[in-house]
């Protein structure tokens, strides 16, 4: 009776204020119903009933029952945003279409917890003169006083949500700081009903997780670990978090992202971590609330408590794994690449500090390291470039010297690794067979326990039993094939052979069974980076090898260069050649004398020859007076025609290079026979000579960097 009296009094006050007019009654009255979570819908049913009872409130205010509609699509949805709330969006649309005369909610927080959404609804209601009502009264958004009151209520509603969130979040953080907040555990762990975290009780599940860490420490890359798991048909143990099979292990095939997350998870090192993957609002995508998570560095984790869980690896090994994963990226040097280069990804330019690129030519038989990053990005001149064979040879020598003292330890470790690897593989197969036998026996017990008269159930259980027996037989067949393909255990003879090979590391390095990728992997285990500096574009190159552990080794090598003028001792060489020529020695005799004095020419030649000495003399304006020049004195020629050797000396370039231009038809040449000899005559006036000199001085264009999967390049340097 009191409720009816209060409702009648409120109705009279509303009408007395003149807020409800005929135009409002001609339109719909909308009752908006919302609860924040499905838990509230299930447990707080009184609030839901109060909201549905607003239909009677609308009828009491003068609306017919047929004109009152209820929008309850947002039950179980948060009001912090309009996204994902189809009911609220429908309400705004109906108001915007001028279909609504009154909006009713039990309180403002039910309509919106965000000022942005609330003021949007308020503006639309003001434009179309739609009234808003809650348990406290009736409001007209076109009235300043009512609008002010509605704005205050909306602000308080948003502030209330903020306070509630902060209160709950601070409690959550306080619990996390004590290490008591129950976080989702990765595979390989289970939580006891008492709350204690322990390793998975399934022996096979633990063995697979341990295998992943062991293989990554040995192989160094995610792809190698993934290939190993696929090759040996190993699956990852995933315990189902929900459903009818909750808590059971679901064996799933390994994936690259799963392995990456496993190796980066500090839980496997026994650490309790909170705040490792915070949410960045800038990365959230509308309609996908699970996105926006980022991975924070360790120094930004809110909570890090070590030695809280049983560990699969040590914390030091966890940090090594992270360093290895970073070094496998392009920023860290990259993984082992295809090709014979030992230093791909490890070579640093000593001039600019940038990483040098690896280039192959001549169908991968030629190797070159080039610092071309600034030239590619900014059009600057090429920083430096050098042949790769001599550099790799020097690094190989340093690696052999570093490995020699540990040869015996290496041999013993290799033998132990082989035996341990084979034992782990057999153990994993035995665990899988044991699980298959158990499944078959359980299916048999279920079939035997059913009553024979229950034929429908018996047939189904019989099918399950047959399927389990077939799976066991197939697995047994695969295991026998695995044993047949595996080599026998390491014998005493094999141990002796391993020791002999380890004692002769160069032979092991050059063995046909040792791949380029394995050689690169050995170098990467010992060397962090190599700084290379070409001195004044000469044949002298300085090396600074940064070994793992912080030790550094400095060395100097001699690289092959294209021109004699690049040699650092070129002036002394010319002076010595002139001095020997003045002593009356012929070109072959001068060449033998230079070789005996350990002078070295450019490029890859080990010794000087007579024609090379003749070229050096011609550059000084001296003539060797060789019989060849005397025999060609009466050779008939056209104007501006040169013998190949004469033009090479005039252009200050090697004769073989000029001959290669003849074969490529970069010059005008003809072949003649004079006194029984085939000679090349090349036409070149002053303009042509200048053009050839410019081509000779032009920067060389080397083959591009070979990527994995690309066919080898066949380009040569000009």
Per-residue tokens: 377: 């990005």
- Chunked mean pLDDT (size 10), the chain, 718 residues: 47 57 90 87 84 90 91 87 87 92 87 86 91 88 89 85 84 88 90 88 89 88 89 89 87 91 93 86 59 79 90 92 82 70 87 87 81 82 87 87 61 58 74 81 78 70 80 79 65 64 71 81 82 88 84 86 81 86 84 86 76 79 56 74 85 85 90 80 90 81 46 39
Every domain of the chain and the residues it spans: 2-172, 184-271+306-335, 338-559, 563-625, 634-699
Cα 682 to Cα 670: distance, rounded to the nearest angstrom:
7
Chain segment 34-45, per-residue pLDDT in tens: 888 888 888 878
Helix (H, G, I), strand (E, B) or coil at 132: strand
Q: What's the half-sphere exposure (Cβ side, CA atoms, 13 Å) at 506? A: 6
Pick the CATH number of 2-172 from 3.40.50.360, 3.40.50.261, 2.40.10.10, 3.40.50.1390: 3.40.50.1390
- What was the pLDDT predicted at 529? 86
User: Which of 36, 109, 341, 385 does the annotation list as catalytic?
Assistant: 36
- The C-alpha angle 10, 15, 16, rounded to 5 degrees, equals 95
Reference 199, options 268, 273, 272, 276; nearest CA is 268
- What was the pLDDT predicted at 94? 92
To the question of pTM greater than 0.75 for the whole model, the response is no
- What was the pLDDT predicted at 456? 66
- What was the pLDDT predicted at 237? 92
Q: What size, in residues, is the chain?
A: 718
Q: For the residues of 570-638, what is the DSSP string, one character each?
A: HHHHHHHHHHHHHTT--HHHHHHHHHHTT---STT-SS--HHHHHHHHHHTT-----HHHHHTTT----
Cα 287 to Cα 82, 86, 595: the distances in Å are 11, 12, 79
Instruction: Examine the residue annotation and report whether 36 is marked as an active-site residue of this protein.
Output: yes
- What was the pLDDT predicted at 286? 56
Reference 710, options 375, 364, 392, 376; nearest CA is 364
Chain segment 619-640, per-residue pLDDT in tens: 776 765 544 554 566 678 888 8
Q: CATH for 184-271+306-335?
A: 3.90.1750.20
């Amino acid at each position: 009776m009191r409720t009816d009296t209060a409702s009648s009094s409120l109705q009279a006050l509303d009408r007395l204020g003149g807020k409800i007019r005929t135009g409002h009654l001609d339109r719909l009255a909308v009752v908006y119903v919302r609860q924040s979570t499905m838990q509230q819908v299930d447990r707080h049913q009184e609030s839901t009933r109060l909201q549905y009872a607003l239909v009677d409130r609308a009828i009491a205010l003068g609306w017919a029952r047929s004109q009152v509609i209820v929008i309850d699509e947002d039950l179980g949805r948060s009001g912090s945003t309009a996204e994902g709330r189809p009911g609220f969006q429908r309400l705004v649309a109906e108001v915007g279409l001028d279909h609504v005369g009154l909006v009713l909610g039990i309180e403002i927080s039910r309509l919106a917890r965000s000022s942005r959404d609330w003021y949007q609804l308020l503006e639309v209601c003001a434009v179309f003169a739609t009234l808003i009502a809650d348990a406290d009264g009736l409001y007209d958004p076109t009235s300043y006083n009512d609008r002010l009151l509605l704005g205050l209520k909306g602000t308080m509603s948003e502030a209330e949500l903020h306070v509630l969130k902060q209160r709950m979040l601070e409690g959550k953080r306080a619990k996390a700081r004590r290490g008591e907040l129950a976080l989702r555990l990765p595979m390989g762990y289970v939580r006891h009903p008492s709350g204690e975290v322990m390793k998975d009780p399934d022996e096979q599940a633990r063995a697979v997780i341990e295998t992943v860490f062991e293989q990554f420490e040995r192989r160094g890359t995610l792809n190698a670990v993934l290939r190993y798991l696929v090759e040996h048909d190993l699956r990852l143990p995933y315990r189902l978090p929900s459903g009818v099979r909750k808590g059971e292990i679901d064996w799933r095939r390994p994936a690259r992202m799963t392995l990456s997350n496993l190796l980066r998870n500090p839980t496997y090192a026994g650490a309790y971590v909170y705040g490792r993957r915070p949410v960045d609002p800038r990365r959230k995508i509308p309609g996908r609330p699970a996105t926006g998570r980022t991975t924070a560095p360790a120094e930004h984790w809110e909570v890090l408590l070590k030695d809280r869980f049983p560990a699969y690896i040590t914390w030091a090994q966890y940090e090594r794994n992270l360093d290895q994963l970073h070094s496998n990226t392009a920023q860290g040097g990259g993984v082992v690449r295809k090709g014979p280069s030992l230093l791909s990804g490890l070579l640093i330019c000593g001039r600019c500090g940038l990483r040098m690129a690896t280039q192959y030519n001549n169908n991968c038989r030629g190797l070159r390291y080039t610092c071309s990053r600034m030239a590619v990005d900014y059009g600057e001149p090429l920083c430096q470039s050098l042949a790769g064979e001599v550099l790799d040879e020097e690094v190989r020598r340093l690696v052999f010297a570093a490995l020699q003292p540990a040869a015996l330890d290496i041999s013993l470790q290799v033998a132990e690794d082989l035996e341990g690897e084979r034992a782990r593989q057999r153990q994993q197969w035995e665990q899988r067979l044991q699980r298959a036998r158990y499944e078959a026996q359980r299916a048999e017990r279920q079939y035997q326990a059913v009553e024979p008269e229950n034929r429908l159930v018996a047939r189904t259980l019989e099918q399950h039993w047959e399927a389990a027996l077939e799976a066991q037989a197939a697995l047994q067949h695969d295991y026998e094939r695995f044993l047949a393909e595996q080599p026998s255990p390491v014998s005493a003879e094999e141990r002796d052979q391993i020791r002999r090979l380890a004692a002769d590391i160069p032979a092991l390095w050059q063995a046909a069974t040792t791949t380029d990728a394995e050689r690169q992997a050995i170098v990467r285990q010992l060397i962090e980076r190599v700084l290379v500096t070409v001195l004044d574009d000469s044949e002298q190159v300085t090396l600074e090898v940064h070994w793992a552990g912080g030790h550094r080794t400095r060395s100097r090598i001699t690289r092959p260069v294209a021109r004699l003028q690049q040699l650092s001792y070129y002036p002394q060489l010319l002076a010595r050649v002139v001095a020997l020529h003045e002593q009356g020695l012929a070109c072959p005799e001068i060449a033998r004398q230079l070789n005996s004095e350990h002078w070295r020419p450019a490029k890859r030649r080990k010794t000087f020859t007579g024609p090379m000495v003749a070229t050096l003399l011609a550059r000084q304006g001296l003539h060797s007076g060789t019989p060849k020049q005397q025999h060609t004195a009466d050779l008939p020629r056209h104007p501006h025609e040169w013998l190949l050797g004469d033009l090479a000396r005039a252009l200050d370039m090697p004769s073989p290079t000029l001959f290669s231009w003849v074969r490529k038809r970069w010059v005008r040449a003809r072949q003649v026979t004079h006194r029984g000899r085939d000679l090349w005559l090349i036409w070149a006036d002053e303009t042509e000579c200048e053009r050839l000199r410019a081509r000779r001085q032009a920067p060389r264009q080397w083959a591009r960097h070979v990527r994995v999967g690309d066919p080898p390049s066949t380009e040569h340097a000009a």
